[in-house]
Chain A
């Protein structure tokens, strides 16, 4: 079975400051890793995903994440946030089997302070 933990339910950060949203996962088998973003009053959309290859994955809107197998982490980072990044961010673990359930974290709300 897989699980995913987002330790921070809310993260306040000043505009133009860097941010890191933490995600740790647990799995006894190989998995794929995702970050989804949910803007206010919208559905979730893919930010980035790690399938294989380079452990540093670049996504939309200047976000990137690094897969660290030894620490079972997939933290999301952005060097300089903008007010438009205000959203909830979900880390997710996807199993190898097509029909098995993707596991979403509980989400981290990113608050951008002016």
Chain B
């Protein structure tokens, strides 16, 4: 079975450039999540979609970050303009339905972003 697929796996970009991270959730999963992981802040939930609709975007750090889910099999996380403090590992994850209620969350392998 294919898991959560993320691209690119690694990205190095210059400050001020636009960064787009892509995600394909597990087929049949109705919920999709974007997380960010850093040494300083640990694992942070950025945004949670259910049935392609954003349910909780309270974790999106600022207006430079945006996420879309145009259909059940694709999502993007965009940073424009990027800054060095955005350097982190960004995980996409999916679940059958929701993040609570005992659902198992399946993580992708991450997109390692470095902004110089």
Q: Which residues of A contact B (CB under 8 A)?
A: 32, 34, 36, 41-46, 49, 51, 90, 94-102, 104, 106-107
Q: Beyond A104-B42, A107-B42, is A97–B109 a contact (Cβ under 8 Å)?
A: no
Cross-interface CB contact of A97 among B48, B100, B105, cutoff 8 Å: B100
Q: Which residues of B contact A (CB under 8 A)?
A: 4, 42-43, 45, 48, 50, 55-56, 91, 93, 97-110
Q: Beyond A44-B91, A104-B42, is A98–B107 a contact (Cβ under 8 Å)?
A: no
Cross-interface CB contact of A99 among B4, B45, B100, cutoff 8 Å: B100
Contacts of A41 in B (CB 8 A): 109-110
Known: A49-B104, A51-B102; 12 extra A-B contacts, CB below 8 A, are A43-B109, A95-B100, A96-B100, A97-B100, A98-B99, A99-B100, A101-B45, A101-B56, A101-B100, A104-B42, A106-B42, A107-B42
Dominant secondary structure at the B interface: loop
Dominant secondary structure at the A interface: loop
Pairwise interchain contact B42-A101, C-beta atoms closer than 8 A: no
A42 to chain B, nearest CB (A): 6
Pairwise interchain contact B108-A43, C-beta atoms closer than 8 A: yes
Pairwise interchain contact B101-A46, C-beta atoms closer than 8 A: no
Nearest neighbor of A93 in chain B, beta-carbon distance = B100
Pairwise interchain contact A44-B107, C-beta atoms closer than 8 A: yes
Q: Beyond A44-B91, A106-B42, A107-B42, is A100–B107 a contact (Cβ under 8 Å)?
A: no
Nearest neighbor of B43 in chain A, beta-carbon distance = A104
A33 vs B101: C-alpha distance in the bound complex, in angstroms? 10
